[in-house]
Structure 1
Amino acid sequence: MSVIPGAQLHGIAGVHLYGAPAGRLVDITVDGTTVAGVLPHDPARVPAATSDENWLDLHGYTMFPAAADPHAHLDKALSHDLVNPPAGDLDGAIASWVKAADGFTEEDILDRARRAAWLMLAQGTTAVRTHVDVYPSDDSSLSSAAFRGIRALTRLREELAGLMTLQIVALVPAHTPDDQVTALTGGALDAERTSSAVPRTLPGTRWPRPMPCWMSPRPVAWAVTCTPTISSPVLPVTAH
């Protein structure tokens, strides 16, 4: 049974919740966009569930919590045909990406990331941590173009507010000189702050903030160290 497009969903009848004992069913009532109640299934409560187009009869189905993706690269999403990386060659694939990325604009990145995020939402993923490249150039590692990916994903985070929690991690390229790491991570934080529709006047004003990450050749090649640069207990430390 499916709800008529545009109709207001009133509830879901007879569904099994993940983790509940087998055979224990519930009825879920909905008020607008909010779950109003989760009650033991009672056929008398929703006698019209099998005929009312505002109810879903989900007997035989199990509901799961929304999924979370702790490691995504939305700035690289849907780019295979544009990058054309060699199969089975990680270094070659990275080199192909770096070369192709020179031609990607902020709008290009936003468009692909948006399409990928909506595909994830359609499959039930509502929280994503995305590592986003910064693009230092030979002439000016702190040029505005270096942070176009951060700006694009910040815009997407604002677009999807209320639908998806999007955490941005600034990913600095491998073997970046130490004196540029601090500048690039600081620039990424500034790019996120200035491109956001919501003012950030204090550290932690709005979570999630971008975390800086950089590829470190020490002690293991391609290890990535991610550390928060602002004082906040909610910013995690992650491994790449």
Structure 2
Amino acid sequence: MNQSIGAPDGTEVLTGVTVRALRGVRLIGGTLADIGIADGHVVDGVPDTAGVDLDATGWRVLPAACEPHAHLDKALTAARMDPGTGNDLMSAITSWREIVTAVDAADIAARALMAVRRYTARGITTIRTHVDIPQTGDPMRGIDALVALRERLRGRVTLQVCVLAGSDVPDAQIAEAIRRGADVIGGCPHLAPDPHHEVTRALDAAQRHGLPVDLHADEQTDVTLADDALDLTDLAEQVLRRRLPQRITASHCVRLGALPPERLDPVLALVARAGIGIVTLPITNLYLQGRDTTHLVPRGLAAVRRILDAGIPLAAGADNLRDPFNPAGRADPFETTSLLMTAGHLRGEEALAAITTGARTVLGLPAAGTDVGDVADLMLVPDGDLGDVLAGAEDARIVLTGGRVVADTRVRRTLDIPERQV
């Protein structure tokens, strides 16, 4: 069956359709092509299988985006706090601990689903969510809610559930969260009285259970600590010593952006040898960091340029979505690319890679894109200036997971302003 997608401002609704081929779509490099899809992957030629051939004239195809670091248990709770509050990291933690006492599993599940719908509509088909183990009420309520949501969304959105274990969380509760289905082991060594202990117990758990690790690391901009006291240095040294085969990730790492080159470069060389991936989270760290600084306010951003130059896999995300840690944000990967270009000074293609191919590498996922064999997690955007897309100026998107259309957003705009100079 042949079907036209129609224009970005049209009204076609394609959700739920299984696509056999995208015809006449523009690739990232600028050429027009037909893309065949079978069994959830890109194939050579148009397959003789069931599905719809879509005329994608007027659209450009990109790999679908990832959100490599979310907090779905906290998402969309900003309205529950004082609207005049401006939080740094510690006050945001305090605000969340006040909110979470009244939060149950049903509350988490409902808000998480609302957030996932926002992410997916904007081109994101994979989300790694860190999940607290609260020490008030049922400690497993977030884990249970998000593991259940992961299964409900299977085939539409890939959800990875990461245990976010603070230093107050007993080892037995971490083990229980893993038993209930958590995919990744996480923690916050930079907030602990003994950061080395937190790194060590996370890696111990990873070795016992064979799971990947994703730690909140060095989420501060001061440079008063010695380099060997960095969470990232400790993590890399332990990973090398233990020869861990699983994926190890360090998220935030904003302290790297505050180190001078002579201190930064040896740290990055060590991280590269250890094979650790880094996740940078510009919008939340720009919001949280530097509030006590009177001038020359630090950016609160990892040293993304030097991370890439060191050959370290880099992913980028938005972190929090309208909660005490970030009252703004629109669940849009192109909000992240815009910030990577403006605050991180990355080139457009590097910013795009950080939310797509680079993010999938850090998350341990197979490649997605338009090459034969790639997973057919794809995003169609209007076929105009790619810079407009990366700047967040285009809202129309069609999103595919394994060749299935999971989101279709069109934007109709009318203006009482002339199009051209007379």
How many pairs are equivalent?
A: 197
Residue number among 194, 206, 209 corresponding to 1:230 in the alignment:
209
Asked whether 1:17 is paired with 2:53, we answer: no
Letter paired with 2:33: V
Shift of 1:181: 3.2
Residue number among 156, 175, 191 corresponding to 1:186 in the alignment:
175
Q: Distance in 2 between matches of 1:151 and 1:183?
A: 16
Asked whether 1:217 is paired with 2:169, we answer: no
* 1:150-194 Cα deviation digits (max 9, x unpaired): 001001100111112211111123x42xxx53122112223x24x
**Percent same amino acid at aligned positions?**
31
224-233 vs 62-71, which deviates more? 224-233
Letter paired with 2:145: A
Instruction: Answer 1 or 2: which has greater helix percent.
Output: 2
- Normalization by structure 1: what TM-score? 0.68
Q: Contact 2:130–2:186 at 8 Å: present in 1 too?
A: no
Shift of 1:224: 11
Shift of 1:69: 1.5
- Name the structure 1 match of 2:33: 26
Shift of 1:97: 0.6
Shift of 1:10: 5.7
- Name the structure 2 match of 1:159: 152
Q: Distance in 1 between matches of 2:71 and 2:140?
A: 15
Residue number among 66, 70, 73 corresponding to 1:72 in the alignment:
70
Q: Which runs of 5+ in 1 are unaligned?
A: 41-53, 138-142, 194-207
Q: Cα gap change, 1:112/1:225 in structure 2, threshold over 3 Å: closer, same or farther?
A: farther
* 1:49-76 Cα deviation digits (max 9, x unpaired): xxxxx65443343211111121111111
Q: Which runs of 5+ in 2 are unaligned?
A: 7-11, 47-51, 212-243, 252-422
Q: Distance in 2 between matches of 1:9 and 1:167?
A: 25
Q: Contact 1:26–1:39 at 8 Å: present in 2 too?
A: no
- Three-state SS of the structure 2 residue aligned to 1:151 is helix
Q: Cα gap change, 1:113/1:226 in structure 2, threshold over 3 Å: closer, same or farther?
A: farther
Q: Cα gap change, 1:226/1:115 in structure 2, threshold over 3 Å: closer, same or farther?
A: farther
Q: Distance in 1 between matches of 2:72 and 2:178?
A: 18
Residue number among 61, 77, 96 corresponding to 2:59 in the alignment:
61
Query: Which one has more relative contact order, counting CA pairs under 8 Å at least 6 apart?
Result: 2
- Name the structure 1 match of 2:80: 82
Letter paired with 1:186: A
Q: Distance in 2 between matches of 1:9 and 1:70?
A: 26
- Name the structure 2 match of 1:113: 112
- Three-state SS of the structure 2 residue aligned to 1:126 is strand
Q: Contact 1:27–1:38 at 8 Å: present in 2 too?
A: no
Letter paired with 1:160: L
Q: Distance in 1 between matches of 2:163 and 2:248?
A: 13
Q: Distance in 1 between matches of 2:200 and 2:75?
A: 20
Q: Contact 1:214–1:226 at 8 Å: present in 2 too?
A: no
Shift of 1:234: 7.2
Q: Distance in 1 between matches of 2:82 and 2:202?
A: 29
Letter paired with 2:156: L
147-156 vs 61-70, which deviates more? 61-70
- Name the structure 1 match of 2:143: 150
* 1:9-30 Cα deviation digits (max 9, x unpaired): 5643211222x4x3x2112346
* 1:173-217 Cα deviation digits (max 9, x unpaired): 3x42xxx53122112223x24xxxxxxxxxxxxxx7242424433
- Name the structure 2 match of 1:170: 163
Q: Distance in 1 between matches of 2:200 and 2:54?
A: 46
